[in-house]
Amino acid sequence: MKNRRSEKYRHLLEAVLGIALFVSLSVLSQFFFQRFDLTEEKRHTLSATTIDMLRQLDDAMYIKVFLDGDFPADYQRLRQAIREKLDEMRAYAGENVQYEFINPSEAEDKASREAMYGELVEKGLDYTSLQIKKKDGVEEKIIFPGALISYQDREFPLQILRNQQRTTDAAMVNRTINSLEYSFVNAFYLLESNRRQKVAILQGQGELPPIAMRSFQNELLRFYDVEYVEIDEHIDALSRNVAGEGKRINRYDALVIAKPLHRFSEKNKFIIDQFIMRGGKVLWMVDAMKVSLDSLQKKETTLALPLRVNLDDMLFNYGVRINRDLLLDRTCAPISLNVGPKGNERSELFPWYYQPILIPDNPHPITANVDPILTDFVSSVDTVEVAGIQKNILLRSGPYTRIMKSPVRVSLNIVSIDPDFGSSNRPHQPVAILLEGVFKSNFANRMPPEFYEEPLLGFREEGEFTRMLVIGDGDIARNPVNPDSTRWRELGYDPVLQRPLYGNKEFLINAVNYLLGDERLINVRSRSVALRKLDDEEILSRRLYWQAANIGVPVGIMILLGFVLALLRKKRYAKKIHA
């Protein structure tokens, strides 16, 4: 009897201690916060920049995610990843991040559903049509893989799904999951940002016209104030004098130079040079060769000649040289040509080697997770040894590349011949190079005498730390424009295949973000989560084996554990009986 009573007290004490321990841990958890991420890529851990931003939110972000309902497995995985990412954000932001999942197709009648669809499209979300296989056929389902984020009196449409025509659903969803943190942080940044930096797009030297840069410009406007600027030898075009202080400050934070065709005067170069010396950032997109597309369409053959815009000495002084050549690349965009006898012509697609498609392979934040990039009559870019300047090659041509030195005969007939990538192959030619450091003025010790006559010049021989990106292609920022220049397509749209394919816009906006030091947007962009797919060959060859293993092994383990526990229990109570 006494043993039974002591056993009862012991169990009671264990219960009380367990409850006390649980309560103590609950109380301590209110004062201490720690999360453990055992995944290889730390996929469940937010970057330090994101955590800092979430903790500094001074009002609630309300997020409506329109990705609820019955979906295929890949989209269920995306929905779960979004939920987990938002829960992770709530762990740091608390009530300042609130979300709900909504099924826009849950209305029973067609009119209500279409009204909901129309409202979401009007607010800036795109829909996706899914083909779902059923036992009795194929069902088409409309989904809106996006979210509406509200902050104070502003609302931002976030298109979550990174739609890519050349990838499978699994790869597309995985790339979207990779960018979830950046997508939400970017939206939060745009909603709460008050101070906007200023970007100038240069005009006056035959650069791309505004309609040809409308897509890039509109994307820039989401982050920055954007203006088109002509220097026209005015010393105040890019900077202004500070009255009473004897110095000049830049009017803009960054300058975009896209495909200049006319020669820069020395004074215009000087104004750009001094803009850089005062910490201005520059995105150079410069053609080294001039190709007349009108001549090519009329004669099927034209000659590409050097395009001399008088920037060679500046770029060389800063650390790069754009070569006077054209790159042919086997990884290229298609061109549509009419073939067949006259009167019975038909359109066919051929590889157009003069439009290389560059596959980003540099893990740098500018190129990480960016889709292939389309170029047009691109030239190679070499680095030049300059003390104190760090160089990073962001884009290269493909493994099968041929260099055509100036002058180059450009002919449509190249689509029907092998351009000899064997003996003439020069793979992985640099096309885009990032420069970072303290640059020296191109006009140090050689400034023309007439410049001294300019009042309030504020000349600096050496600058402060800054960045610039040099790309050997002026058309990388050109969006398609219809022949009468009244309508345009988004940058990255392929007019031949008539669908969006390329990551030009994302690459360029990443570049400007990086040049301007938008650290909150940069640090989270290069994160990657690996897609660990099953081995299809192994599944097909040993399907029954793995099915049996997946079903039988867990059942066998449970039976074994039950048998062991039964033995232990029997042995334990046998001792008590004998006692």
DSSP string, 34-60: -----STT-TT---HHHHHHHHT--SP
- For the chain, the domain total comes to 4
Angle at 241 between CA 240 and CA 244, to 5 degrees: 155
The reported pLDDT for the residue numbered 245 is: 61
User: Terminus-to-terminus CA distance in the chain, angstroms?
Assistant: 13
Instruction: Identify which has the larger pLDDT, 404 or 571.
Output: 404
Q: Which DSSP string do the residues of 368-408 spell out, in sequence order?
A: TTPPPEE-SS---EEE---TTEEEEEEEE--SSEEEEESSE
- Average pLDDT over every residue of 406-414: 87
| Segment 360-377, tens digit of pLDDT | 988 888 888 788 999 999
- Per the model's pLDDT, the better-predicted residue between 38 and 255 turns out to be 255
Q: What is the 3-state secondary structure (H, E, C) of 298-344?
A: HHCEEEEEECCCCCHHHHHHHCEEECCEEEEECCEEEEEEEECCCCC
Same domain for 416 and 432? yes
One-letter amino acid for residue 16 of the chain: V
Q: Quote the domain boundaries for residue 294.
A: 198-515
Beta strand 373-374 with 301-306 is: unpaired
Kind and range of the H or E element at 61? strand 61-65
Same domain membership, residue 230 and residue 348: yes
User: 73 with 163, same domain?
Assistant: yes
Q: Is residue 463 in a domain?
A: yes
Alpha-carbon distance 262 to 310, whole Å? 9
Given this model, what pLDDT does residue 37 score?
59
- Domain shared by 370 and 405, yes or no: yes
447 and 317 both lie in a single domain: yes
> Which residue, 160, 190, 220, sits at the end of a domain?
190
Burial 235-261 (b: 16+ CB within 10 A, else e): bebbbebeeeeeebebbbbbbbbbbbe
Task: Tell me the CB-side half-sphere exposure of residue 125, using CA atoms within 13 A.
Answer: 28
286, 260 contact by CB (below 8 A) = yes
Do 57 and 184 meet the contact criterion of CB atoms below 8 Å apart? no
- Pair (131, 274) in one structural domain: no
Q: Is residue 532 part of a domain?
A: no
Cα separation, 473 vs 296, in Å, equals 19
- Per-residue model confidence (pLDDT) at position 166: 44
Mean pLDDT lowest for which of 36-40, 49-53, 194-198?
36-40
Q: Half-sphere exposure (CA, 13 Å, Cβ side) for 531?
A: 16
pLDDT of residue 309: 95
450 shares a domain with 565: no
Same domain? For 207 and 186 the reply is no
Q: Which of 174, 190, 206 corresponds to the end of one domain?
A: 190
396 in a structural domain: yes
Residue ending a domain, among 467, 484, 515, is 515
Do 26 and 123 belong to one domain?
no
Of 525, 533, 465, give the one whose Cα is nearest residue 178.
525
Q: Highest mean pLDDT: which of 95-99, 379-383, 489-493?
A: 379-383
**Looking at the structure, do residues 449 and 575 belong to the same domain, yes or no?**
no
Q: What is the largest CA-CA distance in the chain?
A: 113
- pLDDT at 531 > cutoff 50: no
Within a domain: 436: yes
Q: Is 520 a domain residue?
A: no
pLDDT of residue 31: 55
**Does residue 125 sit in the same domain as residue 269?**
no
Residue 266 lies in a domain: yes
- Dist CA 566 CA 196 (whole Å): 70
CA distance 254 to 196: 12
Domain membership flag for residue 109: yes
Q: Work out the average pLDDT over 327-348.
A: 82
Tens of pLDDT along 456-483? Answer: 677 888 989 999 999 999 999 999 998 8
Read off the tokens for 411. 């002919």
Least confident of 314-318, 531-535, 554-558: 531-535
Tens-digit pLDDT profile for residues 274-290: 999 999 999 999 999 99
Residue 443 has pLDDT above 60, yes or no: yes
Contact by Cβ (8 Å): 252, 274 = no
> Please, what is the average pLDDT of the chain?
83
Structure-token pair, residue 330: 């086997």
Q: Which residue has the higher pLDDT, 422 or 410?
A: 410
- What's the pLDDT band for 194 if we cut at 50, 70, 90? low
Burial of 207 (0-12, 13-18, 19+ CB in 10 A): buried
Instruction: Judge whether 315 lies within some domain.
Output: yes
- Considering the domain architecture, whether residues 554 and 500 belong to the same structural domain is answered as no
Look at the alpha carbons of 546, 551, 552, 557 in this order and tell me if their dihedral is positive or negative. Answer: positive
